């Protein structure tokens, strides 16, 4: 496939070795430096990327900040901050290139999902969004209530983190996302197929999720982005390769106009590159 100029990978993490993880984290940090992420981008033919503070660091964003400051034109960031975060901290994060924050309860170390409403209210005035990784079947009402009550964009990670359907079965996740995407502040990242159909490889898992992606493209193509999930923390199956990602993009975004919109236009708007 042809990757459009300015393409953005909107979901990745960097780590700087085996030290610095918080007590009780779901995994210990490992070596995944920003230089390796930049090489990953180049291997995909992408121009820019978004780094998310991984759960192993809790709310310590120092590794993220160091990475952003090393390549301010290339990178943006998603931090982890408590709802009562002070303005000085938000100012520092914003100046470094942070354009959103994350709540997630899938791995120990993340901010709990019940922090979402207050956090969305706290950061929305800065033009930030909140990235969410949760079980939407369990916590959908919290997300739904937030979408009803705030103008802050809410970005659902990994195709809503809803399992892929078995071959030949209807996709229950599509119905959930159809309802949430009715709110014009709801966004979805097309990512993590390999997490939703474990232990299948990324390209095979993507086949099972084709109907979900097609539905999202038909509902709100202007509120979709794409992420690789590099460096594939705690993979439940085979680790995706650059070739896998490009094959999936060719499947999910087969025409040049959809690739331009999802990989460039939408993400550039969401992360402040336009």
Residue 1 belongs to some domain of the structure: no
Q: Can you read off the two tokens belonging to residue 271? A: 């992360």
Supply the pLDDT for residue 71: 85
In contact, 124 and 111? CB cutoff 8 Å? no
Specify if 47 maps to a domain: yes
Q: Are 46 and 75 in contact (CB under 8 A)?
A: no
* The pLDDT of residue 274: 74
In this prediction, the residues of the chain whose per-residue pLDDT falls under 50 are none
Quick one: how far is CA 65 from the chain centroid? 18
Place of tokens 């009803």: 148
pLDDT of amino acid 193 = 98
Q: How many domains does the chain have?
A: 1
What residues make up the domain containing 49? 8-270
- Residue 173 resides in a domain: yes
How confident is the model at residue 64, as a pLDDT? 98
Which helix (H) or strand (E) is 129 found in, with range? strand 129-133
Residue 125 lies in a domain: yes
Answer yes or no: is 174 within a domain.
yes
The per-residue b/e assignment along 70-86, b for 16 or more CB within 10 angstroms, e otherwise, is: ebeebbbbbbbbebebe
Q: What pLDDT is stored for residue 166 in this prediction?
A: 92
Q: What is the pLDDT of residue 73?
A: 87
Q: Could you give the CA distance from residue 166 to residue 182 in angstroms, rounded to a whole number?
A: 26
Measured CA to CA, the distance from residue 203 to residue 11 in angstroms comes to: 18
**In angstroms, how far is CA 45 from the centroid of its own chain?**
19
Map tokens 């993400």 to a residue: 267
How many beta carbons lie within 10 A of that of residue 19, not counting itself? Answer: 8
Has residue 19 been placed in a domain? yes
Confidence (pTM):
0.97
- At 148, give phi and psi (nearest 5°): -75, -30
Which residues lie across from 195 on neighbouring strands? none
Residue 252, token pair as written in the block: 């999910």
CATH of the domain at 55: 3.20.20.140
Q: Residue for token digits 């919290």?
A: 142
Nearest to 180 by CA among 163, 207, 203, 159: 159
159: tokens are 């195709």
Query: Is the separation of the CB atoms in 180 and 142 below 8 Å?
Result: no
């Amino acid at each position: 496939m042809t990757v459009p100029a300015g393409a953005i990978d909107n979901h990745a993490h960097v780590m700087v070795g085996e030290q610095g993880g918080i007590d009780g984290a779901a995994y210990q940090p490992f070596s995944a430096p920003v230089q390796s992420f930049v090489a990953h981008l180049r291997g995909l033919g992408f121009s820019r990327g978004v780094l998310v503070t991984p759960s192993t660091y809790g709310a310590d964003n120092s590794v993220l900040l160091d990475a952003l400051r090393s390549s301010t034109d290339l990178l943006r960031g998603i931090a982890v901050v408590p709802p009562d975060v002070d303005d000085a901290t938000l100012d520092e994060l914003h100046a470094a290139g942070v354009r959103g924050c994350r709540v997630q309860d899938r791995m120990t170390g993340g901010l709990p999902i019940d922090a979402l409403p207050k956090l969305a209210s706290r950061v929305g005035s800065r033009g930030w969004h909140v990235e969410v990784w949760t079980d939407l079947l369990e916590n959908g009402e919290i997300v739904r209530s937030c979408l009803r009550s705030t103008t802050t964009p809410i970005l659902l990670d990994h195709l809503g983190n809803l399992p892929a359907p078995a071959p030949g079965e209807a996709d229950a996740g599509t119905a959930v996302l159809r309802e949430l995407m009715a709110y014009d502040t709801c966004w979805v990242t097309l990512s993590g197929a390999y997490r939703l159909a474990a232990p299948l490889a990324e390209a095979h898992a993507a086949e099972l999720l084709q109907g979900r992606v097609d539905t999202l493209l038909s509902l709100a193509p202007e509120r979709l982005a794409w992420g690789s999930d590099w460096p594939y923390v705690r993979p439940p199956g085979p680790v995706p390769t650059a070739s896998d990602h490009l094959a999936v993009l060719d499947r999910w975004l087969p025409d040049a106009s959809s690739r331009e919109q999802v990989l460039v236009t939408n993400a550039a708007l969401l992360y402040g590159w336009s």
